[in-house]
Structure 1
Amino acid sequence: MPLTRRLWLWRHGFLSSADVLYDLDETNYHRYLSSYQRERAAWLNGERSVAFDNKLLFHWMTEPFDDQRVETYGLLRNGRFHDLRLLRSNSEVSDTADAAEWVTERLREDGMLVLKPVTGGGGKDVRLCTYSDGRYFVNNEDHSQETFTDLVAGLDEYLVTERVEQTAYADELYPDAANTLRVLTIYDDEADEPYLAGVVHRIGTDRSAPLDNLVRGGVVADVDRETGKLGEAVRYLGAKEPVRYENHPDTGAQIIGTTVPGWAAIREQLLEMAATFSHAPYIGWDIIVTNDGEFTVIEGNNCSGVRVFQVHEPLLDDPRVRRFYERHGIIPSE
């Protein structure tokens, strides 16, 4: 990229990748939330932001919505497993056990577990664990019991959770990854209600599996906020222009026109949750649809990435979204 072009992007607050994703020029750059403005949005939730940056705090915060929470068994710390479920039974002291021993035994019982860092995002350092025929697999890599227990023993500040099973439509799109919806909710102070500012469906690929993240080679499809119907999907692999798909690049499953089953109920429940957390007006939800109209929240995000939305449509084209960012000083008023 010519230096003059790079400087133009930087002057307007964009990283170089935005030039490939958005095809920016003087006539349209103001329609997009820039990379700099997205970073400024990190303080929108104020002191509540820590609850989204820390998955354990987020788990506790969402206790009123237990049916939508991922089952979280405990915390790995200093070689010990700390059972968090005992706290829900009003026990004064939570039980502990050897971390490697507890995880190994539980994995042999359940067949699947997820080990994820208490902090961090983007799927980084998440371990998706399975057990089959005496072998242990971590992110599809084969382990003996000895190497698996050594791996677990070396993990610190990790949560142990269930591995949520996605419903049939998501499995048909791509079966070897948990295909999540990223939903951005904004609380409108003027209307005193939350709304959906953006919805996309992340879908895993052979390149990204067992994860579905765009930065790892997954594809991301636009989702109509009213109907739950998927539009075209996009894959971004660095310097090259994004590739757009009507069908999944590996499975061939049709993406365009697929509808999230029970979307109206899912949307209503998410808005109820966002209304409950009105003190945190800017939340990115990662959810897995588990049944018609039912879902599990995998995690919440304090400062959602915006590329997954804007690769389809500029966020600032929505007047309500623009007013929100203007009112909070993230973007200048027109």
Structure 2
Amino acid sequence: MLITWYPPPLPGLGRDAPGSANGYLRRQWLRGAWRRGTWVDRLSFVAAIILWWPSTILHAAYLALRLGTSRAKTSGKSPFRQFLEQIAVAAQWMVPPLWYYTFEFHDDERRAHAGDYLQRVQVKPFIYRWLVDRKQRRDKNVPFASKVHFSKLCRERGLRAGTVIAIVGPKHIDFTDPAMTAFPPRDLFVKIKLGRGGRGAERWNYAAGTYRDGEGRSLSAAELGEHLKRRAKLEKRVVEYCLTNHSDLADLTTGALATARILTLRNENGGIEATHAVFRMPQRPGALVDNIHAGGIAAAVELATGKLGRATDLGVSTDSAWHARHPATGAAIEGRVLPHWPEALDLVKRAHDLIGDRVVVGWDVAILEDGPCLIEGNGKPDVDLMQRPHRAGLGNSRFGALLRHHLEKALAGDASNGRRPDQFGTFNR
């Protein structure tokens, strides 16, 4: 998998400040990837190191040609100078050229803090995996791998969450409620059962006895069932009730559900702490999901108040920008305060304490008229989703400090992940 070796773990990478959390995490990634990897992994690392500079130079040149002119207008730097800076930051920190634009390292001040940024190659396949509790868990079901299992766990623990009403396979539909034999007369949202990033999503609005989608199709309940079974030939689907955002947020959506992504971690005392949050919004009319990797935008959220900053995409398009107002609706984003924000923070903290078998969880939360609702939990949350809107690296933030704390404990043989003794074995049952 590309993410496990790009950029490759090259020994001697980076020159971090002594004692910095990000430096510690970087060193452990470099050592652990080689020490804990298989021989196949190590051979892949060697191949990646050999290819690193040719691919980096070619990619940097391509990006300078594609994005350089638009960024020159804001940075005052020519595309050629941007190319040289991409090479320089890659040489010092092994930052891929694409991230030079994602995190705006053409800005001298931000580039000076390039070492503070965590890379997904460090956390997703390595550090997060090393912190998964594999010894104390009695039930091997993972709470975040299955949308159906996650929905069931939330119901059992009294946590408000989206409800999965059916699982659709190529030959049959299994309703989670034994009393249900057909799709109810309500708006429905369909996802790939093990999908990510909104891939394959469908929305079906109910009216006058039929379900209608954005492409103009109109189906009866029976016809919708047959349609979903055909779609499930390769990947099963799950069907949920559609949710609608709080009325105060209606002008920040284009029909899709907008959600907050909130990062929570266990702290040094075993409690749950929220460290960062963003609010994600669909950008295009007709979009079915708000995911920033699917064309959406995200704004940093001030944890103490729920106030939004400017919103942005991933920064790798010629027209990427920072939006004080929604690009489609014109509604104000910057300065907007999210309704029910204290309740949203309380919900994710309780959820992490009750079902989170991970040190870190990224929660997707919809803010509805009557309060927050969990959509899903992510046991290996993305880091660029937070670092881009916040315009700062996570490595030397509270997030990085807690990740370092737990990694130090884990490498010393402590598999508790900061949990209290009374919590062992109580998850996922």
TM-score of the pair, normalised by structure 1: 0.82
Matched, 1:129 2:204: yes
2:248 corresponds to which of 144, 152, 169: 169
> Which piece of structure 1 moves more, 121-130 or 33-42?
33-42
Which amino acid counterpart does residue 27 of structure 1 have in structure 2? Answer: A
Q: 1:276 to 1:31 in 2, by over 3 A?
A: same
Cα distance, 1:278 vs. partner? 5.1
Matched, 1:12 2:107: no
Q: 1:26 to 1:307 in 2, by over 3 A?
A: closer
Contact preservation (8 Å) 2:173, 2:225: no
SS in 2 for 1:61: helix
Matched, 1:298 2:407: no
2:166 corresponds to which of 74, 78, 96: 74
Tell me which residue corresponds to 1:255. Answer: 333
Contact preservation (8 Å) 1:13, 1:34: no
Which amino acid counterpart does residue 69 of structure 1 have in structure 2? Answer: A
Matching of residues 140-155 of structure 1 within 5 Å: 140-145=214-219, 148-155=224-231
1:29 corresponds to which of 102, 114, 125: 114
Distance across 1 between alignment mates of 2:226 and 2:100: 44
Matching of residues 101-250 of structure 1 within 5 Å: 102-103=182-183, 106=184, 109-110=185-186, 112-132=187-207, 136-138=211-213, 140-145=214-219, 148-156=224-232, 157-188=236-267, 190-206=268-284, 209-236=287-314, 238-240=316-318, 242-250=320-328
Distance across 2 between alignment mates of 1:45 and 1:30: 26
TM-score of the pair, normalised by structure 2: 0.65
Which amino acid counterpart does residue 119 of structure 2 have in structure 1? Answer: S
> Which piece of structure 1 moves more, 63-72 or 257-266?
63-72
Query: For each residue in 1:294-327, what CA deviation from the matched residue of structure 2 results, as whole angstroms up to 9, or x when unmatched?
Result: 1111111111111121012321242x32222223
Cα distance, 1:210 vs. partner? 2.1
Which is higher, the Rg of structure 1 or of structure 2?
Answer: 2
SS in 2 for 1:327: helix
Which amino acid counterpart does residue 374 of structure 2 have in structure 1? Answer: V
SS in 2 for 1:296: strand
Contact preservation (8 Å) 2:254, 2:283: no
Cα distance, 1:186 vs. partner? 0.8
Distance across 2 between alignment mates of 1:225 and 1:85: 37
Contact preservation (8 Å) 1:75, 1:158: yes
> Which piece of structure 1 moves more, 158-167 or 203-212?
203-212
Higher relative helix content: 2
Cα distance, 1:134 vs. partner? 6.6
Cα distance, 1:239 vs. partner? 4.2
Matching of residues 34-113 of structure 1 within 5 Å: 34-39=119-124, 40-43=126-129, 44-47=131-134, 50-86=142-178, 102-103=182-183, 106=184, 109-110=185-186, 112-113=187-188
Query: For each residue in 1:22-60, what CA deviation from the matched residue of structure 2 results, as whole angstroms up to 9, or x when unmatched?
Result: 134763122111131132244133457832122122222
Cα distance, 1:328 vs. partner? 4.4
Distance across 1 between alignment mates of 2:144 and 2:96: 25
Identity %: 21
Contact preservation (8 Å) 2:340, 2:367: no
Q: 1:61 to 1:148 in 2, by over 3 A?
A: closer
Which amino acid counterpart does residue 263 of structure 2 have in structure 1? Answer: L
Which 4+ residue blocks in structure 1 deviate beyond 6 angstroms?
A: none
Unaligned runs of 5+ in 1: 87-94
Distance across 2 between alignment mates of 1:49 and 1:36: 25
> Which piece of structure 1 moves more, 304-313 or 142-151?
142-151
Cα distance, 1:259 vs. partner? 0.7
Contact preservation (8 Å) 1:130, 1:136: yes
Contact preservation (8 Å) 1:186, 1:196: yes
> Which piece of structure 1 moves more, 177-186 or 39-48?
39-48
Cα distance, 1:270 vs. partner? 1.8
Which amino acid counterpart does residue 162 of structure 1 have in structure 2? Answer: Y
Contact preservation (8 Å) 2:188, 2:205: yes
Contact preservation (8 Å) 1:49, 1:302: no
Contact preservation (8 Å) 2:147, 2:164: no
Cα distance, 1:79 vs. partner? 2.1
Q: 1:36 to 1:130 in 2, by over 3 A?
A: same
Tell me which residue corresponds to 1:90. Answer: none
Query: For each residue in 1:213-260, what CA deviation from the matched residue of structure 2 results, as whole angstroms up to 9, or x when unmatched?
Result: 112221101100111111111123634374101110111100011111
How many matched pairs? Answer: 309
Q: 1:260 to 1:36 in 2, by over 3 A?
A: same
Distance across 2 between alignment mates of 1:66 and 1:252: 38
Q: 1:250 to 1:10 in 2, by over 3 A?
A: farther
Distance across 1 between alignment mates of 2:90 and 2:208: 53
Tell me which residue corresponds to 2:69. Answer: none
Contact preservation (8 Å) 1:135, 1:142: no
> Which piece of structure 1 moves more, 220-229 or 231-240?
231-240
Contact preservation (8 Å) 1:74, 1:160: yes
Distance across 1 between alignment mates of 2:286 and 2:93: 31
Distance across 2 between alignment mates of 1:116 and 1:78: 15
Distance across 2 between alignment mates of 1:208 and 1:291: 22
Distance across 1 between alignment mates of 2:91 and 2:188: 42
SS in 2 for 1:50: coil
